[in-house]
Structure 1
Amino acid sequence: MQRGFFVSGVASTMAENRLDNITHNLANVNSTGYKASRSSFKTVLADSHLAGNQKQTSSASYLSMGSQYIDTSAGSIRQTGNALDFAIVADGYFQVQQANGNIALTRAGNFSRDGEGNLITQSGFPVLDDGGSPITLPDGEVSGTNDGMIYVNNQPVVQLGLVTLINKNDIQQAAGTLITTPESNTESAVGTVVVEHGALESSNVNAVLAMTEMVATLRAYESTMKVVEQYNQLASQLNSDVGKIQG
């Protein structure tokens, strides 16, 4: 019975975590450059032992929560025609500076200029150039080339800071569409990735698939909670019976 309680508890926790992921993903289905969060699972062997030093008598395997990871697959690219919109084709990330001074990465290229001409993200974080410095643009007509060079009035002004990941698994999701990773896990991608000017990358969340997963997960969660309730009733009955016998 203890194993039943344990396995049911693990299953309900897994379902709750998966629901959290799906809900978060659905909330960002329209967020430019957003990368979906996923849950992985692992098989764990649960052993049952006799008392003392006697040999193992049985074992059972069950699923357990493994880890959460970020799906780095590319979203679709849509044309906007906006002068400060940029989309990276295939692998690569823009570099931005967070409020604490640390560098974060993003695929969301829907930038804007503040009152001082600084190129910033939708959250107000400075966008960095290929030397790691915040980008400031002079007044004028902005254009760009497919290597990430920004022009103003047809004159080259600055190169967007572009990097790729060495290990795609060594990343963490930060606020909004940002991800973080050790600096040692990035390398310059200037000249190796294509940047489309006047375009944006959509979220890689498939809303229909996410809704289907949510329905299936909710049903699994409800089934698990029914099993837990049955175990609770059985345990309560056993305790009552033991009390009657002892009485």
Structure 2
Amino acid sequence: MRDSSLSALFGALSNEMRMSTIANNLANVNTTAYKKDHMAFHDVFTRFAHDYVVTTKSFLRGKDMFPEPKIMAKTRLADQSVNFSQGSLKKTGNQLDLALSGEGFFRVESPEGALYTRNGAFLVDATGTLVTQQGNTVLVDGGPLVLPPGAKVTVDDGGNVSVNGEPAGQFDLVTFDDLSGLERVGGNYYIAPDDAAEMPPEDLVVQQGYLEQGNVEVVTEMVEMLETQRAFEMYAKMLKGTNELDKQMIQRIGRITG
């Protein structure tokens, strides 16, 4: 296969992955506290042997001993990360809706272990326990918070909870030194690496009666989608053109050898 075909193939596959990421971001534009994915690409250069020969002393010979360096580039996925920038806040007036302003997460307990989320649209299950939309337990002082029927819940800026005027604990609010190590696991949850240590968040404010909106900018994503589509079409044309050249070469060789 020609090098041009390989470069076009890798370019097309990279743009296909980029398009999938953009489509997923747009699909979650209305998801509470959703954080968009970002992909970065770079070129991997293939060097020839003479590309490593670098001589600055041009006076040693009258002409270059080696041809000009020719470096081939093939696109590769360099990084896929989550953009944890702050989303806007929407007022709901619901006492169990909580928005986080600043860097940090609610810690919740699931059958698989500890999960982290910024989606504060909480509910009360049949047992009176405060849970997430998926039924996972929201942790307050390391354990569940059980609310009596018709309870009035008050949450201050620091995440301290009062039930019917009586202190009931503080939400487990945590952050990490390196957010890039967090892994998205679906349901707007994240898990942390085994060696990641939880830290108390700084300058994190809890706003009761609000929900954080996703940080996806529709216009920006649509522009990137058009750019990605055009790039994919360009690489597809390169593949088609290279294929036609290969066919012509095979036909000519066949006539000569025949």
TM-score (structure 1 length as normaliser): 0.90
The separation in 2 between residues aligned to 1:148 and 1:96, in whole angstroms, is: 14
Report which of the two structures shows the higher radius of gyration computed on alpha carbons. 2
The residue identity in structure 1 corresponding to 2:10 is V
Q: Using a 3 Å threshold, how does the CA distance of structure 1 residues 181 and 56 change in structure 2: closer, same or farther? A: farther
CA drift at 1:246: 1.9
The residue identity in structure 1 corresponding to 2:9 is G
The separation in 1 between residues aligned to 2:170 and 2:68, in whole angstroms, is: 64
After the TM superposition, which of the residue ranges 73-82 and 41-50 deviates more from structure 2?
41-50
Cα shift readout 1:49-86 (whole Å, capped 9, x = no counterpart): 69xxx999531334321121101111011211101011
Give 1:50-129 correspondences, 5 Å limit. Answer: 58-100=70-112, 102-129=113-140
Give 1:28-47 correspondences, 5 Å limit. Answer: 28-47=28-47
After the TM superposition, which of the residue ranges 149-158 and 20-29 deviates more from structure 2?
149-158
Q: Using a 3 Å threshold, how does the CA distance of structure 1 residues 188 and 138 change in structure 2: closer, same or farther? A: farther
The separation in 2 between residues aligned to 1:145 and 1:123, in whole angstroms, is: 25
Unaligned runs of 5+ in 1: none
CA drift at 1:190: 6.3
CA drift at 1:205: 0.5
The separation in 1 between residues aligned to 2:25 and 2:101, in whole angstroms, is: 22
Q: Which structure 1 residue ranges, 4+ long, deviate > 6 Å from structure 2? A: none
Give 1:1-247 correspondences, 5 Å limit. Answer: 2-48=2-48, 58-100=70-112, 102-131=113-142, 133-139=143-149, 140-182=151-193, 184-189=195-200, 193-247=204-258
The separation in 2 between residues aligned to 1:48 and 1:130, in whole angstroms, is: 61
After the TM superposition, which of the residue ranges 1-10 and 65-74 deviates more from structure 2?
1-10
The residue identity in structure 2 corresponding to 1:88 is L
Cα shift readout 1:113-154 (whole Å, capped 9, x = no counterpart): 1011111111222112232x2332233111111111121111
Q: Using a 3 Å threshold, how does the CA distance of structure 1 residues 200 and 16 change in structure 2: closer, same or farther? A: same
User: Does the aligned pair in 2 maintain the 1:49–1:56 contact within 8 Å?
Assistant: no
CA drift at 1:2: 2.1
Cα shift readout 1:162-215 (whole Å, capped 9, x = no counterpart): 001111111111112111112542424268521111111100111111111111
3-state DSSP of counterpart to 2:138 = coil
After the TM superposition, which of the residue ranges 62-71 and 197-206 deviates more from structure 2?
62-71
CA RMSD of aligned residues (A): 2.1
TM-score (structure 2 length as normaliser): 0.87
The separation in 1 between residues aligned to 2:255 and 2:104, in whole angstroms, is: 69
Q: Using a 3 Å threshold, how does the CA distance of structure 1 residues 126 and 183 change in structure 2: closer, same or farther? A: farther
After the TM superposition, which of the residue ranges 143-152 and 189-198 deviates more from structure 2?
189-198
Q: Percent of aligned positions with the same letter in both sequences?
A: 33
User: Does the aligned pair in 2 maintain the 1:42–1:66 contact within 8 Å?
Assistant: yes
The separation in 2 between residues aligned to 1:232 and 1:191, in whole angstroms, is: 58
CA drift at 1:11: 0.7
